[in-house]
């Protein structure tokens, strides 16, 4: 089994891109010559990967990897799935892995960098702007419906961690998304208001917002934009998911040069202003939520499930695994992908 590891060939990619444009193969973008996932995958599966880009509002260019299934036939129309990455992540990490694995099972999939992250545009980078993450998803659907081999009536969306919350926030009013799935799904608003393990009082929330507001005033007067780690070095008080997040994002396990795990301190206010379930009464599409039975974020899965009005909703529990385990551990990803495949094949038939 051939395995692909993280190798960045920027100069080679530029040359390969020019050559690819001369191939005139009728497919979007150019062949992806960089490593498209940081987790080792079987590169003999027949999945083809194209680097693509598309424009969203504010003239921001979003860059993604489009995964095409084995024996892809451009004259057919395929079901398509968006794979939305967690906060502080990039397309080559967990979102790319799930996109690749679902493409192995016959779907056209797209993992892309959010605005202000990875290869995508938008300044300043490191901004975690929830409502703009929602806009990213809408424009990604716009992109998919322009592809002649995508069936516009069979588009699904999968989000991981905060990406799951962003998908759940988008789907109620984005009816072109016909099926929704979340893996270790989290509402970044609730998690930042209440804290990851809950218990943050209203007084503590207000104090936090006062501190962020004061920092923004300093920046308005010329101070450098303050960056902080999404997953700082763990202490005894660190929540399990953030302890595991440090090991995932900031070690060789899943480190990527375009994902340094920083976010702007000012983003704390925009995150706390967000709610993934604000319009959930409109979310009538089929929904699948995948969670590990050892996840300290399980309360968020329960919260999502209870907020959903539709009858076609399910929680699938992966026994023996935690929140971060579902990002890349084979024993967790395997059953999750199989369940997602069955779900999307049914919901997008």
Tens digits of residue pLDDT in 140-189: 999 999 999 999 999 999 999 999 999 999 999 999 999 999 999 999 99
Alpha-carbon distance of 315 to 168, in angstroms, equals 14
**pLDDT value at position 21?**
41
Task: Give the residue ranges of the chain where pLDDT is below 70.
Answer: 1-24
Considering Cα of 124, then 125, then 129, then 134, what sign does the dihedral take? positive
Q: Are 296 and 241 in contact (CB under 8 A)?
A: yes
Residues with Cβ within 8 Å of residue 289, at least 6 apart in sequence: 164, 181, 182, 185, 301, 304, 305, 313, 314, 315, 316
pLDDT in tens, 118-140: 999 999 999 999 999 999 999 99
Read off φ and ψ for residue 69, nearest 5 degrees.
Answer: -70, 165
**pLDDT value at position 335?**
98
**pLDDT value at position 233?**
95
Q: Are 337 and 98 in contact (CB under 8 A)?
A: yes
The gap from C-alpha 342 to its chain's centroid, in whole angstroms, comes to 20
What is the C-alpha radius of gyration for the chain, rounded to an integer number of angstroms? 19
CB environment 5-30: b (16+ within 10 A), e (fewer): ebeeeeeebeebeeebeeeeeebbbb
Q: Are 248 and 254 in contact (CB under 8 A)?
A: yes
Alpha-carbon distance of 206 to 24, in angstroms, equals 57
pTM: 0.93
**pLDDT value at position 26?**
84
**pLDDT value at position 24?**
52
Identify each DSSP E strand in 202-245 by its residue range: 227-229
Which residues are registered as beta bridge partners of 65? 51, 111
């Amino acid at each position: 089994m051939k395995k692909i590891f993280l190798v960045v060939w920027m100069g080679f990619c530029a040359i390969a891109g020019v050559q690819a444009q001369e191939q005139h193969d009728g497919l979007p973008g150019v062949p992806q010559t960089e490593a498209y996932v940081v987790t080792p995958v079987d590169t003999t599966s027949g999945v083809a990967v194209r680097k693509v880009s598309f424009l969203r509002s504010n003239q921001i260019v979003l860059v993604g990897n489009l995964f095409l299934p084995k024996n892809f036939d451009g004259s057919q129309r395929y079901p398509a799935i968006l794979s939305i990455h967690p906060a502080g992540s990039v397309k080559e990490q967990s979102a790319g892995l799930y996109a690749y694995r679902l493409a192995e099972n016959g779907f056209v999939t797209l993992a892309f960098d959010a605005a202000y992250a990875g290869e995508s545009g938008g300044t300043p980078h490191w901004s975690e702007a929830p409502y703009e993450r929602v806009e990213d998803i809408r424009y990604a659907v716009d992109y998919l419906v322009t592809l002649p081999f995508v069936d516009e009536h069979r588009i699904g969306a999968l989000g991981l961690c905060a990406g799951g919350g962003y998908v759940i926030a988008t789907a109620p009013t984005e009816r072109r998304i016909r099926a929704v799935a979340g893996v270790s799904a989290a509402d970044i608003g609730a998690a930042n208001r209440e804290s990851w393990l809950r218990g943050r009082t209203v007084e503590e929330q207000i104090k936090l917002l006062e501190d962020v507001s004061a920092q923004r005033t300093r920046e308005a007067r010329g101070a450098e934009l303050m960056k902080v780690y999404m997953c700082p070095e763990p202490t005894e008080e660190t929540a399990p998911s953030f302890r595991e997040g440090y090991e995932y994002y900031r070690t060789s396990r899943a480190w990527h040069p375009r994902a340094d795990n920083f976010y702007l301190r000012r983003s704390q206010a925009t995150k706390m202003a967000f709610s993934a379930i604000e319009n959930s009464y409109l979310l009538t599409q089929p929904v699948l939520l995948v969670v590990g039975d050892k996840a300290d974020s399980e309360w968020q899965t329960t919260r999502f499930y209870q907020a959903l009005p539709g009858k076609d909703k399910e929680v699938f529990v992966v026994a023996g695994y935690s929140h971060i385990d579902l990002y890349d551990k084979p024993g967790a990803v395997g059953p999750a992908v199989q369940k997602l495949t069955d779900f999307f094949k049914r919901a997008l038939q």
